[in-house]
Amino acid sequence: MAIHNDTGKAGEKAAIQFLVKKGYEILDENWTYRKCEVDIVALQSNTIIFIEVKTRSSVAFGMPEDFVKREKQRQLQKAAQAYIEIMDHKGEIRFDIVAVLLTKDNQFKINHIEDAFWPYA
């Protein structure tokens, strides 16, 4: 597996630990619908949160959250719609980004952006 894949998986694990400490219940990891994937599906109160995790080892090309482009947001929306239908969820939903930066001393700096975007019509 490529180093960037290892970094991404480590970032997702760090994000899950971070979210659990904040009281989120993790419902699914790497949930897929057709070609669309949601890194983490979590529950807080009666809100299902669809979370995209972006991990980077440098900010030379921008912050991790800057890489959740419009097309990825559309894919998350499609997956979320399917998830809601399958689970028959009647409550609120939200789309978050967890930006993870791997520091030089191999620590994770996490920025949780709640309500990071709203799906396109």
The dihedral over CA atoms of 106, 63, 21, 76, expressed in degrees to the nearest 10, equals: -130
Residues 96-109: what's their mean pLDDT? Answer: 91
pLDDT at 2 over 70: no
Residue 27, pLDDT score: 98
CATH hierarchy code of domain 3-113? 3.40.1350.10
List pLDDT tens digits, range 22-52: 999 999 999 999 999 999 999 999 999 999 9
The per-residue pLDDT for 7 is 80
Is residue 3 scored above 60 in pLDDT? no
The pLDDT, as a whole number, for residue 34 is 92
Angstrom distance (rounded) from CA 97 to CA 95: 7
Residue-range domain boundaries for the chain: 3-113
Under the banding of pLDDT at 50, 70 and 90, the label for residue 76 is: very high
